[in-house]
Amino acid sequence: MTNRVELKPGVIYFPQLLDRAAQESLRDEIYAAIHSAKLFQSTMPRWGNPMSVKMLNLGPVGWVSDKSGYRYQATHPVTGQNWPRIFPSLLKIWDTLTDNYAAPEACLINYYSATAKMGLHQDRDEEDFNAPVVSLSLGDTALFRIGTSERTGPTQSIKLQSGDGLIFGGPARLDFHGIDRIYKETSTLLNEGGRFNLTLRRVTKPHL
């Protein structure tokens, strides 16, 4: 079993959950998905200014953000196509880390260039908060920060490296979190540099 470090109740860090071979095969699956479905540029609600990360989703629904707000929807906002399926390799990781919780319905793929960041936010557009969010990192190291369910609560920071896993659930499910910076050229996994982060989410409440 892989290393499991509880950073605080509900936040579990799995350093090097994926070995290099697993990272390479996940990377190649991501490249194939992007080749067919294309990353899109999200914008912030209200003002519509572009986010610095580029996104794609896998699964029956995907998270999107535009002038009218945040939501899950079944189709790609640019092409109108359904999202690609969640890879079986990801479903397996989800089952292991969530102890076989009902299958995830969305996998958000964020691509960070060396200058991209993500401001502190909560993941709360899901109906079901019983499942944790499962996060996987590939490529350059990132400085991840997580606080409490209040925007101004104390935060702790951790560097997420290529192959690392992290889950936040239970008492930490609604904690504010974000990416303060990317450490350029810290990984050789991605030819173009930068970082992919994948977050697997259960969106609807599971049927009994």
Based on the shown chain and the rule CB under 5 A, indicate whether residue 123 belongs to the binding site for Mn ion.
yes
Closer residue to Mn ion, CB minimum distance, 17 or 146: 146
User: Nearer to Mn ion by C-beta: 81 or 149?
Assistant: 149
How far lies 119's CA from each of 6, 33, 177, in Å? 23, 26, 8
Using the minimum distance from each CB to ligand SIN, give the nearer residue, 69 or 208.
Answer: 69
- Beta pairing partners, 139: 195
Partner from ligand SIN, Mn ion, none binding residue 197, C-beta < 5-8 Å depending on class: ligand SIN
H helices present in the chain, as ranges: 20-37, 88-98
Q: How far is CA 179 from the centre of its chain?
A: 11
What is the x/- site pattern for ligand SIN, positions 165-204, by CB under 6 A? ------------x-x-----------------x-x-----
Q: What is the C-alpha separation between 130 and 179, in angstroms, rounded?
A: 24
Cβ neighbors of 186 (< 8 A, separation 6 or more) are: 140, 141, 161
Q: Choose between 87 and 144: whose C-beta lies nearer to ligand SIN.
A: 144
- Asked if 30 is part of the footprint of ligand SIN (rule: CB under 6 A), the reply reads no
Phi then psi for residue 88, to 5 deg, are -55, -35
Q: Which residues bind Mn ion (CB under 5 A)?
A: 123
Q: Which residues bind ligand SIN (CB under 6 A)?
A: 108, 110, 118, 135, 144, 160, 177, 179, 197, 199
